[in-house]
Amino acid sequence: MLFGRILSVLTPLTMIPSIVYCLMFTPKEATMGDLYRIIYFHIPCAWVATLAFFISFVFSIAYLAKRKPVYDSIAHRSSEAGLVFCVLATITGSIFATYTWGSPWNWDPRETSIVFLLMIYIAYLLLRWLIEDRDKKAAISAGYSIIAFLATPFLVFVMPRITSSLHPEQVGGLGLTRPMLYGVFGMLAGFTFLYLWILSLSQRFDMEEI
Amino acid sequence: MRSFRALLAKEIRVAFRGRHLVGVGFGLAIVLSATLGFSLAGTKVGERVIASLLWIIVMFSSSDTLSRSFAKEEDEGTADQLRLRVPMPSVFLAKTLANAFFVLLIACVVFPLLCFWLGVRLSALPLVGLLVLIGCPALSFAQGFVGYLMSRGRALSAAYPVIVMPVILPLLVCLVLATSQALAEGTFSINLVVVIISESLAALVAGLVLVPYIEEE
């Protein structure tokens, strides 16, 4: 409860100044101009999605070890939140790709990876939806979440490195200056608090139901 | 160890006696290969397409043999007997290894048919054969635990392909990339093989560790 209240204050306190700073005070990028500013949303969305899936994985292990419903609820709600941020990362990435690479979708390894991640967590939610018994649902979906997360390091870290990519960090770096990096870190903090706030709210509803 | 070997032998015996592996597994593999061979007759098919077709046919032809094997034990009431006599990780391992053998058998049917119908260069065959030898057990290990999970819920079998596909997709992509490299260049990236082996072994070990926890439920 207290954690939720703290986050309800911290989230706007970090997000609003960060958004204003990123959109109004950071310099234009040399080649892309103002277009690059979408990375202030794209990078935090991708980061929060990965964090959310990791938290879902950790709480799935915790559920199988301790069998506490609260752990299942956190794993489930974290996956849902991760899926939303993953969709947002895909959309912002596609907008960026349209203007820089000429097409919204190029089957770049990172684009392919994000589609696979979306499919994994849609399948996870489908699995939960198909099982009615609460304990069975929690145990089976925890098992699936753990095995699905094992694929994530291969998708996020390995695949883009063993195949050629159009992504900036693979073709000469992002080229961000210090003020731009401050903006990115501010947004990362803001999005992380937003995710934790969403998680604490949705998990509280679950606990009231139980 | 003795019970594990007996279980593995039983799995293989039962699969050959039953109609599913021969009727659905091999049948589907042959029908799909023939349909694609006929549809693509006379057209120049790229290496990437041949590699994709090979692995997609193998995957779909063998997709539900493992979950069916677990579900059959539950339906026939033999699952509880099995749990009493053999540790569950041994049951899981025996069924997964038996499934790896069936996937390999299905690939041994699909692979020569596709090569014959789509005109694959003979010089590429040993390398692709090696990838089939590595890839079939890898596919089976990667989907083993999900197959086991699917057998735990009644409504889940219909959704099996949708639920298992995302988990094995990274592996499938690596297999397709390595196979197409082998077909086109006569070599393949060792990194891809490392990813295939490590991911499938990680999934197998995770399955072995997690099965007792799921059984508690």
Domains of chain A: residue spans and CATH: 2-209 (1.20.120)
B161 min Cα distance to partner chain A (Å): 10
Residue A173 has a pLDDT of: 53
Into how many domains does chain B fold? 1
B159 contacts in chain A (CB < 8 Å): 126-127, 130
A132 contacts in chain B (CB < 8 Å): 155
Q: Does residue B170 form part of some domain?
A: yes
Q: B153 — contact with chain A (CB < 8 Å)?
A: yes
Between A168 and B182, where is the model more confident? B182
Q: At residue B52, what are phi and psi to the nearest 5 degrees? A: -65, -45
In degrees to the nearest 10, what's the CA dihedral of B151, B207, B100, B80?
A: -40
Q: Does residue B217 form part of some domain?
A: no
Residue B32 has a pLDDT of: 83
Residues 6+ apart with CB under 8 A from B30: B109, B113
Q: Tell which of A68, A112, A121, A127 to mutate to test the B interface (max B CBs under 10 Å).
A: A127
Nearest to B156 among A119, A130, A146 (CB): A130
The length of chain B in residues reads: 217
Nearest to A150 among B152, B191, B203 (CB): B203
Q: Does residue B216 form part of some domain?
A: no
Q: Does residue B29 form part of some domain?
A: yes
Q: Does residue B79 form part of some domain?
A: yes
pLDDT digits (tens, 9 = 90+) for B183-206: 888 888 888 899 899 989 998 999
Report which of A73, A79, A81 is spatially closest to residue A134, judged by C-alpha positions: A73
The least confident of A137-146, A150-159, B124-133, B157-166 is A150-159
d(CA A152, CA A120): 9
Report which of B55, B66, B54 is spatially closest to residue B21, judged by C-alpha positions: B66
A88 min Cα distance to partner chain B (Å): 20
Domain that holds residue B142: 2-211
Map residue A33 onto helix, strand or coil. strand
Q: Does residue B105 form part of some domain?
A: yes
B162·A123 Cβ contact <8 A: yes
pLDDT digits (tens, 9 = 90+) for A38-83: 999 999 999 999 999 999 999 999 999 999 999 999 999 999 999 9
d(CA B81, CA B56): 36
A162·B173 Cβ contact <8 A: no
Alpha-carbon separation of residue B57 from A94, B34, B36, B119 (angstroms): 31, 11, 10, 17
A144·B163 Cβ contact <8 A: yes
B167·A120 Cβ contact <8 A: yes
Q: What is the pTM of this model?
A: 0.85
Give the pLDDT of chain B (217 residues) as one tens digit per residue.
777 788 888 878 877 777 666 777 778 888 888 888 888 877 888 888 888 988 888 888 777 777 777 777 777 777 777 777 888 888 888 888 988 888 888 888 888 888 888 777 777 788 888 999 999 999 999 888 888 888 877 677 777 878 888 888 888 888 999 999 998 888 888 888 998 999 899 989 999 999 888 887 6
Q: Does residue B151 form part of some domain?
A: yes
Residue A168 has a pLDDT of: 60
**Average pLDDT, integer, range A97-126:** 86
Map residue B18 onto helix, strand or coil. coil
Residues 6+ apart with CB under 8 A from B89: B208, B211, B212
Taking CA atoms, what residue in A is nearest to B158? Answer: A130
The answer to whether B47 touches B180, Cβ cutoff 8 Å, is yes
Residue A172 has a pLDDT of: 46
Report which of B85, B78, B65, B216 is spatially closest to residue B148, judged by C-alpha positions: B65
Residue A4 has a pLDDT of: 82
d(CA B147, CA B64): 7
A116·B177 Cβ contact <8 A: no
Work out the pLDDT band at A171, boundaries 50, 70, 90: very low
The answer, yes or no, to whether residue A170 has pLDDT greater than 60, is: no
Work out the pLDDT band at A143, boundaries 50, 70, 90: very high
Q: Tell which of B63, B74, B149, B191 to mutate to test the A interface (max A CBs under 10 Å).
A: B149
Residues 6+ apart with CB under 8 A from B103: B58, B62, B65, B136, B137, B139, B140
